[in-house]
Structure 1
Amino acid sequence: MSDRVDVAVLGAGHAGLNAIKEIRRVTDRYRLINGGSLGTTCARVGCMPSKVAIHLGELYAMRKQFQRYGIDGGESLRIDETSALEHLRDLRDTFVDLVLANTTDEMEEELVDGYARFIDPHTIEVGNRTIRARAFVIATGASSVVPTEWRHAFGDAILTAEDLFELERLPKSIAVIGLGPIGVELGQALQRLGVEVVGIDSGTTLARLEDPVINQAAVEILQRDFPLWLGEPARIERADAGAGVRVRAGDRERVVEKLLVAIGRRANLAHLGLDRIGCPVDARGVPLFDARTLQIGQHPIFIAGDATDGIANLQIAAEQGRIAGYNACHEEHRHYARRTPMAIVFSDPNIASVGVPWSELDQSQVVLGQQRFGPVGRALILGQNRGLLHLYAHRRTGVVLGGAMIGPRCEHLAHLLAWGVQQRLTVDEMLQMPFYHPVIEEALQDCLHGLARKIE
């Protein structure tokens, strides 16, 4: 069977679906090829179900604070694992259904089930089907990395973000290997849901934090929830009599029931056969592409979302999908405009980084502001006043460059800061913005006041 269309999109995640929206404005001669389950990474195994788990963990953890507010009986509360996990999956299915309702559910012959492989720059195979297109968009996403030797030796004990939410019961104990954003979020959520957790990372930073001051604060705060073994690689072996897995890092060891491997994600590109059609690739097998147009070399092929091997982010994936979809249909290409970098980790307290990374700051031209959340009135009321805010500004001009933070509701502070950095506001200009009382945002205001006194 052979099809001829204008554009074919590989992958039905957020990048692919947003590409389709742009393509439909121009032509109805398109195909969307998707292998595996429908539903975006975010809705099915990523952002949304993980946030449900985090919220469940936070609700259950609140029982430990009841007594300080004069509420008795918190110690008698128990979590019903079966009901909690069923609720998580119900919400997960709702998110997936919402995504599919206005996209793939409306498709008939336009949706092709299977995995694509390039034959030439204008032709792919999907099973026994051939599809020829004027242009392609690659939006095949990414998957969790698990070392092959671990998968072979400990397959039944290994979990990843892709399969964690399918569990019918929670393990009694787990080692989280890799403490990037996914490992930190899920490790803390599991601990708060009653799992005995140990977190392990060969590096010394949490959640990709570059700012050493905020990273140290994050380590001090999060290790109150579960042990953090940093600076040594994990070594694993079957425990005696096959009862779980023995995990070692340096001189520390523990036997756990399961391993949650969160050491990174890899773009799903290996099966596409890009090397066969002359696409130049890097050491990780990711094709070299124009960061503005998202075009791969001179080929009529564009790439978007997690398939680019960048940091996973739904908003970036969606915008790249729109750009790639538009450019696949038009001779005159649009450019992808990078916005102020912003990363948020939904741990408790939140961790966030905004703007110029610490490693790229010229320390001789920068002034730093610091504000603890301890005395912030709203944080004290909430009983969530642990944390620290760090801001960076240019020494002479006062332009705010970015910052990093760990603290309550920093998901909101990060947005305010990112908007200021995007508009190249100075410290004084940000201080002219309205602030209310009592709110967490006063921590940002106080930190800006401290910065203002340092501007030359």
Structure 2
Amino acid sequence: MDNLTVDVAVIGVGTAGLAAYRAAKKQGRHAILIEGGPYGTTCARVGCMPSKLLIAAADAAQTIRRAPAFGVHPGPLRIDGRQVMARVRTERDRFVGFVLDGVDKIPVADRLRGHARFIDPRRLQIGDHTTVTAGRIVIATGSSPSIPEQLQHLGKHVVVNDDVFDWDDLPESVAVVGTGVVGLELGQALHRLGVRVAIFGRSNRIAQLTDPVVLESATACFSDELDLRLNTHIVSAQLQDQQVALHTRSADGSERVERFALILAAAGRSPNVAQLSLENTGLELDQQGIPTFDPATMQCGDSAIFIAGDVNLQRPVLHEANVQGIEAGKNAALYPDPESAADRVRFSIVFSEPQIAMIGQSYRTLESTGPGTFAIGAVSFQDQGRSRIMLQNHGTLRVYAEHGSGRLLGAELAGPRAEHLAHLLAWACQSKMTISDMLALPFYHPVVEEGLRTALRDAQYQLTHASTSDDMSIVGR
């Protein structure tokens, strides 16, 4: 048995773990990385990048379908599922390769292979070969897709997003359980690639939208294209003749039994903490077994243990995992005097069509502060110039501004090019800009960003002329 003493031990070599390691090293600490699974981040291997590769193929197919509306008539559409998935896997492996190249540049002495578990708050057992005594420890073990208990007996007929990107070919049919980011992105992509898809959600929620006007607009857009079943519960799922007979019940009590080749479970993720023996740390754990922590420092209680990335289920997106990793690694190095991070504006993007984005404070959060605290500016993209030119004129944007200061507080939207609008809005929120500040900036013509200007003008009007109550019927043009 080897024994190793270090300043900082980082468990997990994903986005957060790599960031934490580098931050601790930057502070002059002796840091090591511990990994029990394959190298390569969730984003590169089974998340952001391969999903966008599948979506890109689906968008290409949709462009061909949409071409006749422009007077352009291509030949018959043919989708080669094997070729689609071959490109997804090849490019995915290339992105993973970039990550592996970065890991290879880390000194071998700083990398330990094997599953880690806590012996006590300062000691780790790595596999059956090494004991590590660390002055500080960073938990960055990530998360894994969850399969609902009622689907777990289906064996190979139930898959998660990790499995999709290893397919050799596209299946004939898929039932997607979950209307969050993963379910919406993959469900729409598979539909556009010719797979028979139905998407099931237990509530009326889509992605993380909380604004009822934006949600209604998004639901209408997706329902026009997809077999979207909201407010629907899974009654049972049984194997019949190498297919899954899925029994569902909708909100009106009607029931259906349909057969699908596969069930894609996309209804949530679970933190990878089961093998860590966290009970030996003395930390307070929540219902999911995650240590309680301070989001400003990533510190667990007042201990020398820090947590970052998907494992804490706070902000499960790559850019947040990277920032949290940096904060956790830096503060582990600074322990016992961690520094609170500056407030960062939250934002997330769903790469569906229309794209969905949430920036800053959500409608639900602001609504809970009481009437009269914020004004809403809105725009429908139905008649927005550039959107109509592209035949992508669907969706709604609503921006939220603070009464008194006029400062932009947040926004929710479903619409064209939302990934770009979201960045502009996030930067404006982070910079604490007012609606007047934003309207003073230049807007080119004709661009989708002019729709943002319309929403800002509506917000400005609401701030200066309208009642402070939220008029749900107002949609700016």
What TM-score do the two structures reach when normalised by structure 2?
0.92
CA pair 58-3 structure 1, distance change in 2 beyond 3 A: same
Shift of 1:422: 2.0
> Which residue identity lines up with residue 440 of structure 1 in the other structure?
V
> Which residue identity lines up with residue 257 of structure 2 in the other structure?
E
String of CA shifts for 1:162-220, please: whole Å, max 9, x gaps.
11111111111111101011111111011111111101011111001100111111111
> Which residue identity lines up with residue 414 of structure 2 in the other structure?
I
SS at match of 1:233: strand
Does residue 6 (structure 1) correspond to residue 7 (structure 2)? The answer is yes
Aligned to 1:342: 347
Aligned to 1:94: 94
Map 1:412-427 onto structure 2 (within 5 A).
412-427=420-435
Shift of 1:72: 2.0
Distance 2:243 2:175 in 1: 15
Shift of 1:396: 3.5
Aligned to 1:80: 80
Map 1:56-455 onto structure 2 (within 5 A).
56-74=57-75, 76-128=76-128, 129-151=130-152, 153-250=153-250, 251-331=255-335, 332-361=337-366, 362-455=370-463
CA pair 93-217 structure 1, distance change in 2 beyond 3 A: same
Shift of 1:242: 4.3
Shift of 1:394: 2.4
Shift of 1:232: 2.5
Shift of 1:14: 0.5
Shift of 1:429: 1.4
**Aligned 8 A contact 1:342 1:354 in 2:** yes
SS at match of 2:109: coil
**Aligned 8 A contact 2:31 2:110 in 1:** yes
CA pair 57-120 structure 1, distance change in 2 beyond 3 A: same
Shift of 1:236: 3.0
> Which residue identity lines up with residue 66 of structure 1 in the other structure?
A
Shift of 1:452: 1.7
Shift of 1:105: 4.5
String of CA shifts for 1:272-331, please: whole Å, max 9, x gaps.
111122111011111011222211123211111111121311111111111111122224
**Aligned 8 A contact 1:141 1:267 in 2:** yes
**Aligned 8 A contact 2:157 2:243 in 1:** no
Distance 1:275 1:23 in 2: 26
String of CA shifts for 1:121-151, please: whole Å, max 9, x gaps.
1111111121111111100000111134422
Distance 1:134 1:391 in 2: 46
**Aligned 8 A contact 2:150 2:237 in 1:** no
Aligned to 2:473: none
Divergent runs of 4+, >6 A: none
SS at match of 2:224: coil
**Aligned 8 A contact 1:175 1:247 in 2:** no
SS at match of 2:248: strand
**Aligned 8 A contact 2:180 2:206 in 1:** yes
SS at match of 1:246: strand
CA pair 391-252 structure 1, distance change in 2 beyond 3 A: farther
> Which residue identity lines up with residue 370 of structure 1 in the other structure?
A
Distance 1:432 1:27 in 2: 45
Does residue 32 (structure 1) correspond to residue 40 (structure 2)? The answer is no
**Aligned 8 A contact 2:234 2:246 in 1:** no
Shift of 1:27: 4.5
SS at match of 2:40: coil
SS at match of 1:8: strand
Shift of 1:364: 2.4
Aligned to 1:41: 42
**Aligned 8 A contact 1:354 1:403 in 2:** yes
SS at match of 1:327: helix
SS at match of 2:270: strand
SS at match of 2:293: coil
Distance 1:96 1:335 in 2: 32
Shift of 1:35: 1.5
Shift of 1:408: 0.5
Distance 1:363 1:48 in 2: 41
Distance 1:201 1:104 in 2: 42
Shift of 1:26: 4.0
CA pair 277-451 structure 1, distance change in 2 beyond 3 A: closer
Shift of 1:92: 0.8
SS at match of 2:423: helix
**Aligned 8 A contact 2:400 2:408 in 1:** yes
**Aligned 8 A contact 1:245 1:256 in 2:** yes
SS at match of 1:454: helix
Distance 1:302 1:243 in 2: 45
SS at match of 2:325: helix
SS at match of 2:462: coil
Identity %: 38
